[in-house]
Structure 1
Amino acid sequence: MTERPHMQTEDFEAIARIAAKEREGTRLEFIDGVIRSKAMPDGDHQMIIQWLTRLCMQHRPELWLHGGQGIKAQAYRDGRAIPDAVLAPSKAFAGQGDWVDPAPILMAVEVTSWDSDTYQRDHVEKPRAYAETGIPVYLLIDRAKCEVSVYSQPNGRRYEGVHVVPYGTDIALPDPIGITLQTEVLKDWVR
C-alpha cells in the first residue's frame, strides 16, 4: 500500500472552527487521521447525560461532568475527540481552548446516537483513542443494544477490563470513580 498524506492537526482544528461557525451545531472529530461529524444529541440522549450528572454530583461533588468538551486524544496522529461528557475536577479546563489537555479526566462518557457509524465510532475507535490517551474509565451507554459498558485499566493501547451489562443491572464504575450505577431508568430513554 502506498502511504497517503495525513492531515495536520492544526488544519483539522481550523476546519472544525469554520464548520462550527458556518453551520451551528456541527461538531467534528479527528480520530485515526479521519474526520467524522458527531451527531447532535436528541432529547433522550440529553436525559441520560442529565441523569449521570446528578449521580456524579451526589457521589463525587468535587468533580464535574463536563458536557461536549473537545479533548486532545491519541498521541499518534494528534487526534481530537468530543466525548458526550468527561468527569474531571470542576476547574480542570479553565483557561484552555477548544481542545483541552486530557490529563485531569477520570472518565469519558459516550451515549450512542442513531447514525450509521455509531458502532465503529463508539465501540472501536473511541475506546482505543481514550485508552491511548490514558483516560482511566470509559463509560459507553448503548441505546440500540440497551447495554452499559465500562472500560477500565488502560494500557496505552486498549482497555484491559471491559464489563458489559443489560439495562436494569447495576454496574460499578471502578476507581478512580467509585460509583455504582443503577441502570433501570435507562429503559425509559430507548426508542
Structure 2
Amino acid sequence: MTVAQTEVPLDEFEALAAAAPDGLHVELIDGRVIVTPAPDGDHDENVMSVGDQIRERFPALRMYQERGLSVAAYRAGRARVDGAVAPAGYFRGQPSWSDPSGVLMVLEVTSGREEDADVDRTDKRDAYAQAGLPVYLLIDRHRGEAVVHWEPEGGRYRHESRAVFGSKLALPEPFGFDLDTSELA
C-alpha cells in the first residue's frame, strides 16, 4: 500500500485514478491517496456471502460490488467500496464516484495483506461515519471476525458489535437479522 504524505486536490486525484493500471485500486480518503491491490477470490466470495444473505431477506436491495462513492465530509473523498447495499436501481445514471445518500450499508473486506488492514479498520470507518453512511460492515480476514458499526454521529459511529467467524453477527436496523459468518474466511 502507498499513502501520499500531502493532501491531493480532487482534480489531480481523478487524473491519477483514471491512469492507474489494472489490478490497483486508487482511493482518496481524508485527503490521502491510498493504493491497494485488486481483490482476490476469497475477498469476492466474502462480499457475495453477505450480499446473498441480505438479498434473501430483502429482495429489493442489492449488494453493488466495487462501487465508487463520493465520501466527502471534511475533505474531498473518493472510496471504491467492496460492497454498497442500496435499493435496486439506485446507481442507475450516477457517475463513477456516486452520491452515497441512498446507501444503507457499506462493506469492506480486508485485503490479503495485513499491512493494508488498518485502512479498512480505521481510515475508511471514519470516512464513512463522516459521510453519514448508516452502517459499516468490516470483514476482517486477519483477525477472523466481522465487525459492524452503526449510527454515525459527529463523524464517528456510536455503536460497534463483533463476531468471530463461524458465529452470528446481529446487524442493526434497517437490516435487523443475524448475519451468518460461517462462510467467511
How far 1:25 sits from its partner (Å)?
A: 2.8
Cα–Cα, structure 1 residues 116 and 51, in superposed 2: closer, same or farther, change >3 Å? closer
Equivalent position of 2:28 in the other structure: 30
Q: Greater share of strand residues, 1 or 2?
A: 2
Partner secondary structure for residue 182 of structure 2? helix
Following superposition, the deviation at residue 49 of structure 1 comes to: 1.3
Taking the aligned partners of 2:118 and 2:42, their CA distance within structure 1 comes to: 21
Question: Using a 3 Å threshold, how does the CA distance of structure 1 residues 6 and 144 change in structure 2: closer, same or farther?
Answer: closer
Give the equivalent residue in structure 1 for 2:61. Answer: 63
More displaced 10-residue stretch of structure 1: 112-121 or 60-69: 112-121
Q: Which has the higher helix share?
A: 1
Separation in structure 2 between the aligned mates of residue 89 and residue 156 of structure 1, nearest angstrom: 26
Counterpart mapping for 1:29-178 below 5 A: 29-178=27-176
* Count of paired positions: 181
| 2:106 maps to amino acid | A
Conserved in 2, the CA contact under 8 Å of 1:9 and 1:77?
A: no
TM-score (norm 2): 0.92
Stretches of structure 1 lacking an aligned partner (at least 5 in a row): none
- Bigger shift: residues 170-179 or 159-168: 170-179
Q: Which amino acid aligns with 1:165?
A: A
User: For the residues of structure 1 that align with 2:116 and 2:15, how far apart are their CA atoms?
Assistant: 25
Instruction: Show the counterpart of 1:16.
Output: 17
Check whether the contact 2:104–2:133 (CA below 8 A) recurs between aligned residues: yes
Aligned-residue CA RMSD in angstroms? 1.5
Task: Answer with 162-171 or 102-111: which moved more.
Answer: 162-171
Percent identity of paired positions between Structure 1 and Structure 2: 38
